Amino acid sequence: MSQRKYFGTDGIRGRVGESPITPEFMLHLGWAAGQAFKRQGQRNSVLIGKDTRLSGYMFESALEAGLSAAGVDVKLLGPMPTPAIAYLTRTFRASAGIVISASHNPHQDNGIKFFSANGTKLDDALEAEIERWLEQPIQVCEPNELGKASRVDDAPGRYVEFCKSTVPNEFTLDGLHIVLDCAHGATYHVAPKVFKELGARVSVIGAEPDGLNINLNVGSTHLDALKQAVSEKRADLGIAFDGDGDRVLMVDRDGSEVDGDELLFILASQRHAEGRLNGGVVGTLMTNLGVELALREIGIEFERANVGDRYVMERLLANNWIIGGEGSGHMVIRDCTSTGDGIVSALQVLLAVRRSGKTMGELRQGMAKLPQTMVNVRVAQRFDPLSRSDIVEAMRRAEADLGEAGRILLRASGTEPLIRVMAEGQNADDITRVAEQLALVVERSTP
């Protein structure tokens, strides 16, 4: 992948008001994207959706102005989950989709994600083309060629029907009491409708967005509120989305967390049992080794991709496989949708549970997770930790310490100024010690 100035592993992201997350940059980005899409020979319209952050309104207006100046029509979707924008981009036959969101980050952050006309993440070449146009001054097209803007009022209803269409007509959630945690984010108005219309008794938390409370002590990154709600309401299970709705984690009736690695195993093993897996499974460098061992035990091939759902999708397409995912709850199910979708993934897990005749707890017992420790080292500026000889040497010592039963991973976050130090092995105390020692070396080597 070529070095890019603005795009990370999941679009462009940062703190609101600090470069590049400013109105001026978003105006320029809208214009640059419009120019790049036009020269790709794609259709002359772009969809814009957003999560519930207060800053989303400001950036929506700036992007709309930039696209219009480039002569591109804009359809405004309002607050919608990221995967809904991917789906609607395809159904509206648009040139591209733009999502204004910082996913699981707090409201102080925001960002931009792009989808192609096919509802997939942009390839590196097109992102590079947008960055080249960002180096050029804005030139407004002729007044009679300016793009027009309109709002799509029925976007939520369209997406609700799409989500329901990804499960068989006879599938029902009758008899299930489900607690949904919408993270005060983009799923707040659509997720409850999906699960209620499929027959579940639904209780909802995290569905009162005020522009500032997105992901605040709720959602897939903060499961305590969901655990408490499942317990108090004596629900059958809980489902937590992140702020933009492309991730999902679950809580079993006993309050135990079911993370993305376990959900991936449940999906893959049940499909394999039904003869519907059609190939192997793609995880990432961060996927727990227990997933790989459990899948191989039942005859399912497993491959690791770089961290990020776009790279999971790349390997799925290369292998013509269907299912991949990350421990964070970012799942890609290619025969259902074109990108990670929290609601659709949750429905597929519930379908697997119903078809298996087992509980979610029973299904997850098919794999044993190895102890895994992550230490995040905050840095002023992201850098490649493997470019520093002292860090590489410390990593080699750590790997020798853990032996063949362990694994070390060092990587720069693609969305935050962090270096992630991950250790995995048989003994929890050993991997914690090794990870903390390595993190200290990284911290001392920070430029």
Mean pLDDT of 402-406: 80
- Per CATH, the homologous superfamily of domain 172-256 is Alpha-D-Glucose-1,6-Bisphosphate, subunit A, domain 3 (3.40.120.10)
Residue 404: pLDDT above 80?
Answer: no
User: Which residues, including other chains, have CB under 8 Å from residue 333's CB and lie 6 or more apart?
Assistant: 267, 322, 323, 341, 344, 345, 348
Is 353's pLDDT higher than 50?
Answer: yes
| Average per-residue pLDDT for the chain | 94
Query: What is the reported pTM?
Result: 0.90
If you average pLDDT over residues 414-439, what whole number do you get? 90
Tell me whether residue 103 is one of the annotated catalytic residues: yes
CATH number belonging to the domain at 259-364, selected among 3.40.390.30, 1.10.3720.10, 3.90.1150.10, 3.40.120.10: 3.40.120.10
Confidence of residue 1 (pLDDT cuts 50, 70, 90): very low
Model confidence band, residue 42 (pLDDT cutoffs 50, 70, 90) = low
| Sequence ranges of the domains in the chain | 12-154, 172-256, 259-364, 372-444
For residues 323 and 82, give the distance between their C-alpha atoms in angstroms, rounded to a whole number.
19
- For residue 434, name the pLDDT band (cuts at 50, 70, 90): very high
**183-187, 216-220, 288-292: which has the minimum mean pLDDT?**
288-292
| pLDDT for the residue 43 | 62
Higher pLDDT, 372 or 85: 85
pLDDT tens across 233-267, in order?
Answer: 999 999 999 999 999 999 999 999 999 999 999 99
- Which of 382 and 420 is assigned the larger pLDDT? 420
* Of 8-12, 23-27, 104-108, 150-154, the least confident: 8-12
Domain 12-154 has CATH 3.40.120.10: yes
**Which of 111-115, 335-339, 390-394, 401-405 is predicted with the least confidence, judged by mean pLDDT?**
401-405
372-444 CATH: 3.30.310.50
Catalytic annotation, pick one of 103, 116, 345, 445: 103
Tell me if 12-154 shares its fold with 172-256: yes
165-202 pLDDT per residue, tens? 999 999 999 999 999 999 999 999 999 999 999 999 99
Mean pLDDT of 122-149: 95
